[in-house]
A and B are shown apart, each in its own frame.
Chain A
Amino acid sequence: MTRRSPLDAPPWIKLSLIALVVTYIAIVVLLPLGAVFTEAFASGFSSWMAAVTEPDAQAAIKLTLLVAAIAVPLNTVFGIIASWAIAKHDFSGKALLISLIDLPFSVSPVVSGLVYVLLFGAGGWLGPWLEEHDIQIIFALPGLVLATMFVTFPFVARELIPVMQSQGRDEEEAALSLGATGWQTFRKVTLPNIRWGLLYGVLLTNARAMGEFGAVSVVSGHIRGETNTMPLHIELLYNDYNLSAAFAVASLLAGLALVTLVLKTILEWRHGDGLVARGH
């Protein structure tokens, strides 16, 4: 139903605004998406297949999945714990704490990677000690996981805090007064209420974790077949002028982005009220 408003009075204004927006989104968003898939299959399906199944690409895919499999669950657990503390309790300094949790959003991904190099790298604070004990963090899996965790740190908490706040504390207080323990209250009362928001937050965390480029680029060392995640493998192929292979691997990540968006749209459609009351 169209809401009556004096601003949308004559149809020609309405139609030209819609046409403008459709054209704009098509140019800004659809064109790059189309380019990825067009270039990926430009030399045929068999060369696409060859590009995504060759050993270095396979290693990159496995590494990306592994990094996400470690970073996403850890950040999810943190997100739930942090939003419980923030949304269900009152304390001073809450606004500051939320700002600090949000901080990674506004820090450049390159700086996010750099901080770990300065801590754990060869020339870093803990570098000599780590070397002595033969522990490698930078240019290895732990560094990739840490950088990914930094970058995706706020996503789950950011999604859950408003959901928990909008649901208030009455239900939890009722459960507690009936004798439930804190853990039972969380599992039986809070968790069912926040599950769609939680799923949404996990989806966003995962998409960003698998696609992160700048932060992991700084800590990876770019060892082909060893410390290259999918985005880094794409860069390597691209710089080797192997465009069709670069776009073939890129099409996998673009596919992941599309799946994420479809799931997100379905979630908003079906469980709009269980997500953040942000009006979308």
Chain B
Amino acid sequence: MTFKRRSAIPGFGLTIGVTLFYLSLIVLIPLTALVLRAATGGWAHFIDAAFSERAVAAYKVSFGTAFIAALINAIFGVIVAFVLVRYRFPGRQLLSALVDLPFALPTAVAGIALTAIYADTGWVGSLVAPYGIKLAYQPQGIVIALVFIGLPFIVRTVEPVLADLGADAEEAAATLGAGRWRTFRSVVLPEIMPALLTGFALAFARGVGEYGSVIFIAGNMPFHSEIAPLLIVTSLEEYDYAGATGIAIVMLLASLAVLLVINGIQHRERVRRGL
């Protein structure tokens, strides 16, 4: 094989063959079927389905809430990662384990639990309801669910970079008279920025596609709090395959774009570090 460099370790042909076969079977062929399906319907039909008024409203809800949630997670994620890496205190291990809970907790479970808490009669919802603030069954409910889902992404991408970052540069900055905030802003922040952007992109992509945790708390009102993945499900239930496919293609392109951005960030980072 010409595309492979020589290695003493055997089994390349077999393992790469199985890998490509299985990858094609489970992921690539089904995704290709989706794209072909959209293509066979014709361009005009696809545009109609993918950019109907209701679909565009759903994109706005999905992308908007995912962006806000990722922003909230970026801010708190850096603080959480910083505290976990730099400070030693009782319960740190437990806190660190809890950060992973949104990865492990099934989304439907998270969805009904968050709805129970933030509905008007819930633990938190009933506290703010007297002031006329509604959290559940509104777009802000979607943000709450996505903040929960996205928590681990930023913490877990920023944490290792912070841990590798020695205190030397910060000490040097401090010796030269920089204040704490300025040291953080001009020494620590640039170092963790690529990881932070990667985590942000991951949380954003996950938030745009998220379904289980959102549909219970969202209220699902068309043009107001209806997310794009739900519109796919609704279209399918109405046997509107063209509609479901069109929206799915737009969402697929969005996730590919995010993947490209992440690869770009990591490539630039490798170049910068001279690897």
Measuring CB to CB, which residues of chain A are less than 8 angstroms from any residue of chain B? 1-9, 13-14, 17-18, 20-22, 24-25, 28-33, 35-36, 39, 78, 81-82, 84-86, 88-93, 95, 97, 99-111, 114-119, 123-125, 146, 149-150, 153, 169, 172-173, 176-177, 182, 185-186, 204, 207, 210-214, 217-218, 230-232, 234-235, 238, 243, 246-247, 250, 253-254, 257-258, 260-262, 264-265, 269, 278-280
With known contacts A25-B98, A119-B33, A3–B106 Cβ distance under 8 A? no
- A88 near B9 with CB under 8 A, answer yes
Q: List 19 A-B pairs, Cβ < 8 Å.
A: A6-B173, A7-B86, A17-B82, A22-B95, A28-B151, A31-B124, A85-B11, A100-B23, A105-B206, A110-B211, A114-B34, A150-B26, A153-B27, A207-B104, A212-B106, A230-B106, A238-B112, A253-B105, A253-B109
- B37 near A118 with CB under 8 A, answer yes
Set of chain A residues within 8 Å of B103, measured between Cβ atoms: 204, 207
- B229 near A123 with CB under 8 A, answer no
- B105 near A31 with CB under 8 A, answer no
With known contacts A5-B167, A21-B83, A213-B106, A102–B89 Cβ distance under 8 A? no
The chain B residue with its CB closest to the CB of A174 is: B8
Minimum distance in angstroms from B233 CB to a CB of chain A = 6
Interface string of B157-173 (1 = CB under 8 A from A): 00111011001001101
Q: How large is the interface on B (under 10, 10 to 19, 20 to 34, 35 or more residues)?
A: 35 or more
What's the Cα separation between A85 and B12 when bound, in Å? 6
What's the Cα separation between A101 and B209 when bound, in Å? 18
Interface of B is mostly: helix
- B108 near A250 with CB under 8 A, answer yes
What's the Cα separation between A279 and B4 when bound, in Å? 31
- B183 near A7 with CB under 8 A, answer yes
With known contacts A78-B22, A81-B18, A204-B103, A20–B163 Cβ distance under 8 A? no
What's the Cα separation between A3 and B164 when bound, in Å? 12
The chain B residue with its CB closest to the CB of A276 is: B160
With known contacts A89-B9, A211-B105, A218-B233, A280–B15 Cβ distance under 8 A? no
- B241 near A123 with CB under 8 A, answer yes
**Interface-central residue, A103, A246, A260, A265, by most chain B CB under 10 Å:** A103
What's the Cα separation between A156 and B259 when bound, in Å? 20
Q: Which of B80, B123, B239 contacts A31 (CB 8 A)?
A: B123
Set of chain B residues within 8 Å of A153, measured between Cβ atoms: 26-27
Measuring CB to CB, which residues of chain B are less than 8 angstroms from any residue of chain A? 1, 3-5, 7-12, 15-16, 18-19, 22-23, 26-31, 33-34, 37, 76, 79-80, 82-84, 86-89, 91, 93, 95-110, 112-114, 116-117, 122-124, 147-148, 151, 156, 159-161, 163-164, 167, 170-171, 173-174, 180, 183-184, 188, 202, 205-206, 208-212, 216, 228-230, 232-233, 236, 239, 241, 244-245, 248, 251-252, 255-256, 258-259, 263
What's the Cα separation between A33 and B101 when bound, in Å? 9
- A106 near B229 with CB under 8 A, answer no
Going nearest first, the 7 A-B pairs with the smallest beta carbon separation are: A211-B106, A108-B209, A279-B160, A6-B174, A213-B212, A214-B211, A115-B30
- B10 near A176 with CB under 8 A, answer yes
- A32 near B241 with CB under 8 A, answer no
What's the Cα separation between A238 and B215 when bound, in Å? 12
Minimum distance in angstroms from B73 CB to a CB of chain A = 9
Q: Which of B1, B163, B255 contacts A108 (CB 8 A)?
A: B255
- B106 near A214 with CB under 8 A, answer no
What's the Cα separation between A265 and B105 when bound, in Å? 15
What's the Cα separation between A6 and B108 when bound, in Å? 44
The chain B residue with its CB closest to the CB of A157 is: B19
What's the Cα separation between A153 and B202 when bound, in Å? 17
Q: Which of B29, B98, B180, B239 contacts A7 (CB 8 A)?
A: B180
- A2 near B16 with CB under 8 A, answer no
Set of chain A residues within 8 Å of B248, measured between Cβ atoms: 108, 110-111, 114-115
- B80 near A21 with CB under 8 A, answer yes
With known contacts A5-B167, A17-B83, A118–B123 Cβ distance under 8 A? no
- B30 near A250 with CB under 8 A, answer no
Q: Which of A110, A149, A177 contacts B229 (CB 8 A)?
A: A110
- A246 near B112 with CB under 8 A, answer yes
What's the Cα separation between A116 and B27 when bound, in Å? 10
The chain B residue with its CB closest to the CB of A190 is: B9
What's the Cα separation between A11 and B87 when bound, in Å? 11
- B108 near A213 with CB under 8 A, answer yes
- A261 near B101 with CB under 8 A, answer yes
Set of chain A residues within 8 Å of B107, measured between Cβ atoms: 211, 213-214, 231
What's the Cα separation between A217 and B96 when bound, in Å? 31
- A118 near B88 with CB under 8 A, answer no
- B151 near A29 with CB under 8 A, answer yes
**Interface-central residue, B103, B113, B188, by most chain A CB under 10 Å:** B113
Q: Which of B12, B15, B110, B171 contacts A82 (CB 8 A)?
A: B15
The chain B residue with its CB closest to the CB of A249 is: B109
With known contacts A32-B114, A173-B8, A114–B244 Cβ distance under 8 A? yes
What's the Cα separation between A96 and B119 when bound, in Å? 44
With known contacts A90-B5, A182-B10, A231-B212, A25–B37 Cβ distance under 8 A? no
